[in-house]
Amino acid sequence: MKSIPEYFGCMVFNENCMKSRLPHETYKAMKKTIRDGKSLDISVANVVANAMKEWAVENGATHFTHWFQPMTGITAEKHDSFISPSGNGSVIMEFSGKELVKGEPDASSFPSGGIRATFEARGYTAWDPTSYAFIKDNTLCIPTAFCSFGGEALDKKTPLLRSMEAINKQAMRVLKLFGNDDVTSVKTTVGPEQEYFLIDKEVFLKRKDLMFTGRTLFGAKPPKGQELDDHYYGTIKPRILSYMAELDEELWKLGVLAKTEHNEVAPSQHELAPVFTTTNIAADHNQLTMEIMKKVASKHNLVCLLHEKPFDGVNGSGKHNNWSISTNTGVNLLEPGETPFENAQFLLFLCAVIKAVDEYQDLLRISVASAGNDHRLGAHEAPPAVISMFLGDELGEILEAIENSEEYDSKEKTMMRVGVHILPKFPKDTTDRNRTSPFAFTGNKFEFRMLGSADSIGCANIMLNTAVAEELRQFADELENAKDFHTSLDSLIKRTIKEHKRIIFNGNGYDDAWIEEATTKRGLLNLRTTPDALPHFTKQKNLDLFKMHKIYSEVEVNSRYEILLENYCKVINIEAITMIDMASKDLLPAMSNYTKILCDTLISKKTACPALPCNYEEKTANRMAILTDEAYEQLLMLKEEVAKVTSFDDTLALAEYYRDTIISRMQSLRAVVDEAETITSKEYWPYPSYGDMLFSVK
């Protein structure tokens, strides 16, 4: 049996593969392409393609695909075999540089938000050579960007790559001012923690709501949930441990740096966390991780649930986006450092992030907006919908001292002159983590905790990279034209802290008093739901930001606005129709049947012996009859409201209607049915209970 280092990345055409299989000059050209993002000459691409094909075939691959990330939020692939007719009735295995670099999948049925008509089917995929090709299911997968015939981005990879170029360009300008002449590139890095649920497949297949929507639309709370905190970091059950072991192995073969795994707070909930890597690669790896999680779960007769809130009454699942900025020389620009030079540079980059989060809090909220995540945000399990930043006590005190031109007395009692921004040695962990903060500094990175479990990390990092790039651009413009760099630097840092400190909050984000303070005193946005947030996407300041850094054109912004709104409406519509189906065909008949059984038992007992007490049958039957009628009335009203959706021409108005009317009707129907479940004999209830689902895996 091979050791982990021996098989790690064995299904990836990585640098080791390239170095061993490519001619020296071709390898150098590939390295330059990866380093500088330049396109490959077709003659070089042909050599790379042939070597890649030979390697893939040796490892069992028969097909290749351009693997891309359309606006559906999941990945897409069209498989083509390597076979080519040889002219004598046989075939040879071929793969050209043209096929490697560019593909043409049918784009007609992918969301475009009005970028092109349905009959305009042409779309193009373009190889992203900075993300290694890999083999999955006997298919060579080539990570690509996806765009329309007119060049507009139809995916999440293209704008992510654009945002990485933007922050690289502006960060390099700033670093040159500090004399970092050895730095040739800057990249953002991400380590996305992935939460998920595992339940038994047999139970899953008996729940229409889980199959159609990914979450339970009905279900009374079980006697025991997460209140004892006994699942969190508890001993991992053997069946789950077996699943995790195979998951690790499959991910490691694909070069995914799966590192940490443990039980999460809710019963049947778990987490996997990888090691940090470059943002576009992290995005690819996270999409792979979610796919492999589901695939491996099925092999263990389990189902992996990635919905943000699959079960009411217990924690939902998020995805913590740990984000930082690093140079090609290995310097983390969010590491405070130990010298005046490092301190000043750190402070400037920190201020860029503070200013970016404050000025573009709406874009960060939009990046995590979905119907599913609306159920999770603001509950005592995830950050509130109000964006704020946690810096910790010591860093907060340092910024306050700088703002007020005061000396700062560090924990080592080392006095310093704040005027030149000399920080003392600053340990990574001087304060506790704040798990209620949407955007928390955790030593040398920021943890953006608002993402939902099923989210692509692409959107959040597009917004982060672009917003910070804009602030760095403004800083570079000011400092490049300064007469005295150090004086201007001091003034810029002090001014930025003073103007944007409202976004910094180190307290309890779950406290209602904070929401009141944030919105009324600090003027922060409280975009509670997806329809509240999405209109901000097309605000002029945001359009200007995207156009300035060539991330999105106005057409591309409008398309994403429409796609997100439509997705919100479609998700809730599917949920409402699923509820109607479950209630009409299964739940109401079950409730009526159980009421009849109680009544029949009551009549039988009274007939046999009129003196027998029948309180249980009589009172339960009465309550069941009332609940059945109430459920029926709620069902009719939900049907009536759903029927009205066809009358809406405006998508935002429709989304608001779903939020304000349809969801309210769904909640009312659920409340009645859930009460009925608590008094119905288990043998007559048509669906597995919460207890069956959450505690199904032994």
What are the pLDDT digits (tens) for 189-215?
Answer: 999 999 999 999 999 999 999 999 999
The answer to whether 453 and 320 have CB atoms below 8 angstroms apart is no
Helix (H, G, I), strand (E, B) or coil at 133: coil
Q: Are residues 538 and 652 in the same domain?
A: no
Please compute, for residue 307, the number of CA atoms within 13 A of its CA located in the half-sphere on the CB side.
22
Measured CA to CA, the distance from residue 398 to residue 688 in angstroms comes to 55
Q: Are residues 200 and 77 in the same domain?
A: no
Tell me what the mean pLDDT of segment 161-172 comes to: 97
Over 80: is that where the pLDDT of 117 sits? no
Paired sense of beta strands 389-390 and 439-441, if any: parallel
The answer to whether 149 and 116 have CB atoms below 8 angstroms apart is yes
User: What local confidence, expressed as pLDDT, does residue 34 receive?
Assistant: 78
Q: Are residues 459 and 486 in the same domain?
A: yes
CB atoms within 10 A of CB 202: 13
Measured CA to CA, the distance from residue 696 to residue 698 in angstroms comes to 6
* Highest mean pLDDT (candidates 22-31, 176-185, 385-394, 577-586): 577-586
Place of tokens 């002449």: 181
User: What local confidence, expressed as pLDDT, does residue 392 receive?
Assistant: 87
Q: Are residues 255 and 128 in the same domain?
A: no
Q: Please write the tens of the pLDDT for every residue from 674-690.
A: 999 999 999 999 999 99
Q: Which of these three, 520, 552, 584, is where a domain ends?
A: 552
Q: Are residues 381 and 527 in the same domain?
A: yes
Measured CA to CA, the distance from residue 621 to residue 633 in angstroms comes to 18
Helix (H, G, I), strand (E, B) or coil at 135: strand
| Cα-Cα-Cα-Cα dihedral sign, residues 151, 157, 160, 164 | negative
Helix, strand counts (H, E) of the chain: 25, 17
Q: Are residues 262 and 294 in the same domain?
A: yes
The answer to whether 163 and 551 have CB atoms below 8 angstroms apart is yes
Q: Are residues 147 and 167 in the same domain?
A: no
Who's near 370: CB < 8 A, 6+ residues apart? 308, 452, 454, 455, 530, 564, 567, 568, 571
The more confident residue out of 627 and 99 is: 627
Intra-chain end-to-end CA distance of the chain, in Å: 29
User: What local confidence, expressed as pLDDT, does residue 159 receive?
Assistant: 95
Asked if residue 95 belongs to a domain, the reply is yes
Measured CA to CA, the distance from residue 282 to residue 468 in angstroms comes to 19
Q: Are residues 133 and 187 in the same domain?
A: no
- pLDDT interval class at 309 (50, 70, 90): very high
Over 60: is that where the pLDDT of 264 sits? yes
Q: Please write the tens of the pLDDT for every residue from 59-85.
A: 999 999 999 898 888 888 889 899 888
User: What local confidence, expressed as pLDDT, does residue 414 receive?
Assistant: 43
- Lowest average pLDDT, out of 2-16, 96-110, 390-404, 596-610, goes to 96-110
Asked if residue 561 belongs to a domain, the reply is no
Q: Are residues 448 and 573 in the same domain?
A: no
The CATH number covering residue 75 comes to 3.10.20.70
Over 90: is that where the pLDDT of 397 sits? no
- Lowest average pLDDT, out of 261-270, 354-363, 379-388, 483-492, goes to 379-388
Asked if residue 91 belongs to a domain, the reply is yes
Q: Please write the tens of the pLDDT for every residue from 639-688.
A: 999 999 999 999 999 999 999 999 999 999 999 999 999 999 999 999 99
Q: Which of these three, 489, 522, 552, is where a domain ends?
A: 552
Q: Are residues 220 and 281 in the same domain?
A: yes
Paired sense of beta strands 302-305 and 186-200, if any: antiparallel
Asked if residue 560 belongs to a domain, the reply is no
Q: Which of these three, 138, 155, 172, is where a domain ends?
A: 155
- pLDDT interval class at 107 (50, 70, 90): low
Q: Are residues 607 and 515 in the same domain?
A: no
Tell me which H or E stretch contains 247.
helix 238-253
CB atoms within 10 A of CB 615: 7
Asked if residue 558 belongs to a domain, the reply is no
> Looking at the 3D structure of the chain, how many domains does it have?
3
Tell me what the mean pLDDT of segment 134-163 comes to: 90
Helix (H, G, I), strand (E, B) or coil at 591: helix
Domain that holds residue 381: 163-552
Q: Are residues 521 and 591 in the same domain?
A: no
Report how far apart, in Å, the C-alpha atoms of 437 and of each of 297, 318, 599 are: 32, 13, 54
- Kindly report the pTM of this predicted structure: 0.93
